[in-house]
Structure 1
Amino acid sequence: MNSPILNNLFSRIQLNPRDGRAIYLQLSDGVRTLIKNGQLSAGQKLPSTRDIAKLMEINRITVGKAFEDLQMQGWLESYVGRGTFVTLHIPDLEPKKLQNQVVDKAQKVAGFAVHENQYRHNPYFISTAALHLDDGYPDPKLAPLKELYRAYRNQLTRSGLYRKFGSYGFPDGPEIYKETISRYLNETRGLRTTQKNILSVRGTLMGINLVCTALLKPGDIVVSGIPGWQRAEHNFLHAKAKHIGIPVDEHGLVVDELKKICKRTKVRMVYVTPHHHYPTTVSLRIDRRLELLRLANEYGFIIFEDDYDFDFHYNHRPLQPLASADENGMVIYCGSFSKSFSPAVRMGYLVASENVIEHLTNVRVLLDRQGDHILDNAMADIINDGTIQRYIRKTLAIYGQRRDFFCDLLANELNGAVDFTVPDGGMTVWTEFDKSINLEELARLAYDKGLYISNGKIHQYPSFNKNAIRLGFASSSIEDLTKSIHILKDII
């Protein structure tokens, strides 16, 4: 190379044989960075492949492949007898100071504004602890994963592959799944539906987001219980609705407070978890259920019924959903297999009047053209052959046993430190700790000893500051529950 400047530029391109990428691609990236930084200007002639190969101590063929790659991408132009040049079709950028490293780096900060303050902070934590008293998850060891895998595999080998894989399907879900879910809900929950009342969604959170996007306008009022589920509340605020929280007592949502709000302002939607209120697990008493439906009919608001763990009620049969008594199409019912089957299986459904489902489907296309039809159909298969029903019967007995054992542990081992009511259903115990116990510190020390529990922050509100958390029992064995409580006892 005759030019000491070019010689210096190319010598600073670092090539690493152990990088995992081909050397010619590393060289191509390095030259492209020189051009983007303005260190190689438009129209500038590059050294020959021979000279670059000699300088960088690599094969000339490698340099040639790098130049070919850059020509294909439009960065270089080559002319027979004249050589290779930086293309004229880029602006003549002002050169930047030479740096020790000129190969592209992963971007940490975007060059455009990100309006983070428009969104509520939605933290998440992935636990690696061996033990867990979680938010109320099922035990994946009990789930019929083999049966689901077999049903999914069968979907891949049956006829009609073009219909399944060669084109898009229905945005609201495959017909077999909708028909199956409709029949399943009618038989188990007393609903009166057809497949036109069903919309497949990827879990409860997608259902809430879709309803908020499609049915709420800025300024609309949404009412829900406090304490509640902050993920749902953040969706209300994201839709620019006004959220009003009302109390929850031992009988569920205090509907009389809702009535007062309805008398002075227009309510658009009420979000409720009547079967097992989140997070306290209490059930909405029958008189309040009926009054909630009556108020919806009188004042015209939507009831969004989140029935996240219908199947798991231990002392008696599950309470029928509000949707089963809805005669005027006021309820949007949402269910999910994520809590009853596995959080990793993102599969659920919305149930509503036909015109509402049509509208939600039209909006859903903008977010997600369609769900996983293969997984939906596989789930339909194991519902139709009775697998899910057998699984629920089996786990209901196991989870009931774990609930009783866990509550005995809490009462005997942490006596005086905690206060709780044995839940009629669900997968957690809403546990109030003595005020002298710092839950954030307790969670930190427990995690250091291999046990994950919540620090309680997600259940704190200006109007609600009980020193309480959800302790999930369903996902742990009897042995693990014992170890977990002993860890908490030692710390306390």
Structure 2
Amino acid sequence: MNYAYLSHIKLRNATEQPVYMQLRDAFRELIANGTLQSDNKMPSSRMLSEHFAIHRQTVVAAMEELVAEGWLVSKQRKGLFVNDKLPEIKPRTYGSAVKTYPATASFNFHQTTHPTVARKSYLFGFDDGYPDIRIAPYSALSKAYSQTLAENAHRNIMTRVATGAGSLLLREELAKMMRTYRGLLITADNVLLTHGSQMSIYLVANRLLTKGDNVVVTKPNYLTSNNLFKTQGANLLEIGVDDDGMRVDELEAVCKKKKVRFVFVTSHHHHPTTVTLSIERRIRLLQLAEQHGFAIIEDDYDYDYHYENKPLLPIASYDRHGSVIYIGSFSKILSQAFRVGYIIAPADFIQQVSVYRRLVDRQGDQVLEDAFGKLFQNNTIKNHIRKAAHLYKERRDATYELLNSELNNYMYCNLPEGGLAFWTHVDRSLSLEDIAVRCAAKGVFFPDGRTYNYDKAKMNACRIGFASMNTKELHKAVDILKTELKRMPIKR
């Protein structure tokens, strides 16, 4: 037999990939590109071992995988042969075979555009408003998670399929918290757990929307929700925002002209501007929902952080007509990495969303959800929120002082009553993208504005998060930002 093709096989250092896998892949490619044809005999394991100077068992391991995958067959007393049941393969010049997985698909598919923030390795920075993950009660969560694993294994429920609504323990604890602290008179039947707010918004929109339905959002708005609604075929109607939140008078005018399917509102701290929807407008919004038959999706993403006065109760707490779908998550409490969110709504809607959710996500993360439930039971979550709110208020005040004393020539913002970020307007002669690039070169993240300056709405504004940096990091970040801004001349 002519085994000249073996000279083309180059085995690399085993640290990149086990040698037996390299050999397996090489022979798989030789068969796929037609160099080895059906019923060709393979070299013996001894011969291959000597040729490549590798252990014979390494060769045997590679050949066994090729047999298991159907590329080779073993014939008694004769050796290994290329399977003659492979599809017909036409020989090609060696080296013409594709070396990587195809970069483009051969079929058509829907495309979605959404600006993303490339979070490379920054020392620290002004994010969109994230919590400080360093202060999260990880040890308590780890203990609760381990305990949950042990209990579930003992109860033999690890292989059971949970309800589409999620962990009963966590749903009951959430319902208790909502009744006590947010005025929502609900039970576990009104709660569905998800993998975060974005999944919640998607599931709700999918159950509500038919292509061409009108959806009212603010301008500016949380861009991800806009894109989610568009992918579901919605027609977005944008209305304004002022210091009292969504302009409900504009919504009323819209309702007189068009049928609205639902209104999306971030009531507590409007995203991105951080303003709070006034109590008068909350009541009027509920009245319009009852009058015109639309639903209200209330995204209350950071209700727990309010620094000046007691926060207004959610719109859902005043709802007696079944109009509000209330959404939240634990991302702002612990970390973006823990994807646990919730939907609160009338029980019949929750049941239908649960049925649909099982089509795209069988049951969620039962163990993590139960562990979170334990953290509610032993007051770990409650105590952490109280401590974090006190710390974040200090960081908010320090950031506001620095922005006004060090950067007032370049940007301005109002002091938010709560939340984890400032809505900051930058001098229009300065490019947010240029600032972002300059800061990134110094290891500091600064938003480039693309997230909110969309559809020709060049506001030259961005959210500057303050919670994830301690005081020392905050001063360093401001110093770097100020230095870079000084190098960018302002044209008056």
1:136/1:428 contact within 8 Å kept = yes
Pair 1:64–1:229, CA change in 2 (3 A): same
Partner of 1:29: 25
Pair 1:388–1:82, CA change in 2 (3 A): closer
Cα deviation per residue 1:27-64 (whole Å; 9 max; x = unaligned)? Answer: 22211111111121222333444444454444555444
> Is 1:138 equivalent to 2:135 in the alignment?
no
How many Å separate the matches in 2 of 1:166 and 1:446?
49
> Is 1:416 equivalent to 2:409 in the alignment?
yes
Q: Percent identity?
A: 38
Q: How far off its partner does 1:363 sit?
A: 0.5
Q: How far off its partner does 1:79 sit?
A: 2.2
**Corresponding residue SS for 1:441:** helix
Pair 1:133–1:57, CA change in 2 (3 A): closer
> Is 1:87 equivalent to 2:80 in the alignment?
no
> Is 1:340 equivalent to 2:333 in the alignment?
yes
1:460/1:466 contact within 8 Å kept = yes
How many Å separate the matches in 1 of 2:229 and 2:265?
13
Q: How far off its partner does 1:110 sit?
A: 4.2
Pair 1:340–1:300, CA change in 2 (3 A): same
Cα deviation per residue 1:336-358 (whole Å; 9 max; x = unaligned)? Answer: 11012221211111000000000
> Is 1:66 equivalent to 2:59 in the alignment?
no
Q: How far off its partner does 1:82 sit?
A: 4.0
Partner of 1:112: 106
Partner of 1:393: 386
| Structure 1 spans left out of the alignment, 5+ residues | none
Q: How far off its partner does 1:163 sit?
A: 4.2
Q: How far off its partner does 1:238 sit?
A: 0.9
Q: How far off its partner does 1:122 sit?
A: 4.5
**Corresponding residue SS for 1:458:** coil
Partner of 1:195: 188
**Corresponding residue SS for 1:340:** coil
Pair 1:283–1:9, CA change in 2 (3 A): same
Counterpart AA for 1:418: M
Cα deviation per residue 1:203-241 (whole Å; 9 max; x = unaligned)? Answer: 101101111222211111111101111111110011111
Cα deviation per residue 1:400-427 (whole Å; 9 max; x = unaligned)? Answer: 1221121111111112322211111111
2:419 corresponds to which of 423, 426, 439: 426
How many Å separate the matches in 1 of 2:79 and 2:219?
73
Cα deviation per residue 1:65-95 (whole Å; 9 max; x = unaligned)? Answer: 4333322221122323444321111122111
Q: How far off its partner does 1:179 sit?
A: 0.7
Pair 1:484–1:83, CA change in 2 (3 A): closer
1:11/1:55 contact within 8 Å kept = no
Greater displacement, 447-456 / 181-190? 447-456
Cα deviation per residue 1:287-315 (whole Å; 9 max; x = unaligned)? Answer: 21111111111111110000000011111
Once the two structures are superposed, the pairs formed by residues 281-292 of structure 1 within 5 Å of their partners are 281-292=274-285
Counterpart AA for 1:395: A
Partner of 1:210: 203
Pair 1:51–1:370, CA change in 2 (3 A): same
Q: How far off its partner does 1:371 sit?
A: 1.6
> Is 1:309 equivalent to 2:302 in the alignment?
yes
2:279/2:312 contact within 8 Å kept = no
Pair 1:36–1:302, CA change in 2 (3 A): same
Greater displacement, 308-317 / 126-135? 126-135
How many Å separate the matches in 1 of 2:277 and 2:115?
28
2:115/2:450 contact within 8 Å kept = no
1:359 corresponds to which of 344, 352, 356: 352
How many Å separate the matches in 2 of 1:147 and 1:60?
50
Once the two structures are superposed, the pairs formed by residues 120-269 of structure 1 within 5 Å of their partners are 120-158=113-151, 161-269=154-262
Counterpart AA for 1:450: G
> Is 1:42 equivalent to 2:38 in the alignment?
yes
Q: CA RMSD in A?
A: 2.0
Partner of 2:6: 10
Pair 1:163–1:81, CA change in 2 (3 A): closer
Pair 1:358–1:409, CA change in 2 (3 A): same
How many Å separate the matches in 2 of 1:91 and 1:72?
17
How many Å separate the matches in 2 of 1:357 and 1:71?
50
Q: How far off its partner does 1:111 sit?
A: 4.7
Q: How far off its partner does 1:428 sit?
A: 0.8
**Corresponding residue SS for 2:14:** coil
**Corresponding residue SS for 1:200:** strand
How many Å separate the matches in 2 of 1:68 and 1:383?
52
1:271/1:305 contact within 8 Å kept = yes
> Is 1:328 equivalent to 2:328 in the alignment?
no
Matched residue count: 485
2:163/2:363 contact within 8 Å kept = yes
How many Å separate the matches in 1 of 2:346 and 2:138?
33
1:132/1:452 contact within 8 Å kept = yes
Cα deviation per residue 1:113-155 (whole Å; 9 max; x = unaligned)? Answer: 3535x31234232242112111111112222222222222221
How many Å separate the matches in 2 of 1:137 and 1:63?
52
How many Å separate the matches in 2 of 1:419 and 1:65?
66
| Structure 2 spans left out of the alignment, 5+ residues | 486-492
Partner of 2:437: 444
Greater displacement, 368-377 / 457-466? 457-466
Pair 1:50–1:476, CA change in 2 (3 A): closer
Partner of 2:489: none
How many Å separate the matches in 1 of 2:86 and 2:114?
41
Greater displacement, 44-53 / 298-307? 44-53
1:402 corresponds to which of 384, 395, 403: 395
How many Å separate the matches in 2 of 1:391 and 1:62?
54
**Corresponding residue SS for 1:158:** helix
1:99 corresponds to which of 95, 100, 125: 95
Q: How far off its partner does 1:25 sit?
A: 3.2
